[in-house]
Amino acid sequence: METLESQFKEKIQSGENLISQINNSFLNNVSGVAKLRKKIKVEIQFLEKTMRSSKMKEEHLLCTNLHHFQALLNHALVQPCDSLLQHFFYYHGDQKCKICVDIVANKGQKWIKVISRNPKALSQISLGAGEYGQRSVLDQAEEYVECARENFVMFEPPEVIFHFSCGIERQLANELIKRCITISGDILESNTHITKEDVGTESDEFSDEDLSSESEESSDELDTPICDTHSIRNQLNVLNLNEVPILNLDVTTLVAYVSNLTNGGAYHKFSYPLNQQAEWELQNPVKPVLEKYFQGKLSCLAKWLFKRFATL
């Protein structure tokens, strides 16, 4: 039978493995990864300190968030991940509130919360069987949806996804779906039998406190303009613009749509830089791309922008 000390060592090693996994993956360059790495190190340091003090208890292993961080990392690695542990703000009445989204993916269009609790415990807490003041997953769902409705991406609220790494009981899943939550993970048949240990005190919630500040990545300055139209088109495809019902036009788009250059004038010879733009236009005509995304959509334009465009 494993000793408590050996279990502590295994848990510490699992934390070290998480950091190595992050460092050797594409997530190493994702915004927010430093915050995740630091949280993992805090858990490791706590276990190491407890082990040195010889005050080890089984509860310390049950309450560590390392298993939750493992679930978060596993799910982030299979997503088009934009950022980790990103804060978003919203107003509940007059009160400014904040949530921390575990994974932001698909160019901000998906907010993913990773939940690693025992599915029976989740159901019981949602029925009021948790500790005093303990928030249920239904409470969290309402907060996420309310926040998403105040943080539009491409004129729509992000899709809120709750990923249950250990599964979720069907009855609770149905309640979440009613609250506009997309369910990810195994849906299990309900089982009402539960012990106090199942409910437990573990928390897969992150605190609102920022544990680290991250510098923005700097981009290299280019001596000459580069128009990577292939890359731009790929980005447009990722954003699923065909599903966006409204287009908010800017002056640049209007100019590109009506200019002589994009309406058959690209064969004329111009002085630089128009010559270069004409070459780009001949290689990848802009107007067909714009017309494709205009089709079937409501286009809108700020009044002051329209006046500015009319004076050009």
pTM of the model: 0.67
Alpha helices in 127-218 (DSSP H): 137-148, 170-178, 196-199
What integer pLDDT is reported at residue 91 of this predicted model? 93
Backbone phi, psi, residue 303, to 5°: -60, -40
User: String of b and e for 268-303 (b: at least 16 CB within 10 Å)?
Assistant: eeeeeeeeebbeebeeeebbebbeeeeeeeeeeeee
Query: Whole-angstrom Cα distance, residue 264 to residue 52?
Result: 76
- Binned at pLDDT 50, 70 and 90, residue 254 comes out as low
Q: Burial-class residue 65 by CB neighbours within 10 Å (0-12, 13-18, 19+).
A: buried
- Is the distance from CB of 129 to CB of 147 less than 8 angstroms? no
The strand pair at 95-105 and 81-92 is best described as: antiparallel
Q: Is 81 helix (H, G, I), strand (E, B) or coil?
A: strand
The overall average pLDDT reported for the chain is: 79
What integer pLDDT is reported at residue 231 of this predicted model? 45
In this prediction, residues 165-187 reach a mean pLDDT of 95
What integer pLDDT is reported at residue 211 of this predicted model? 34
* pLDDT tens digit sequence for 181-198: 999 999 998 764 444 444
* pLDDT tens digit sequence for 69-109: 999 999 999 989 999 999 999 999 899 999 999 999 999 99
- Binned at pLDDT 50, 70 and 90, residue 258 comes out as low
C-alpha atoms less than 13 angstroms from C-alpha of 94 in its C-beta half-sphere: 0
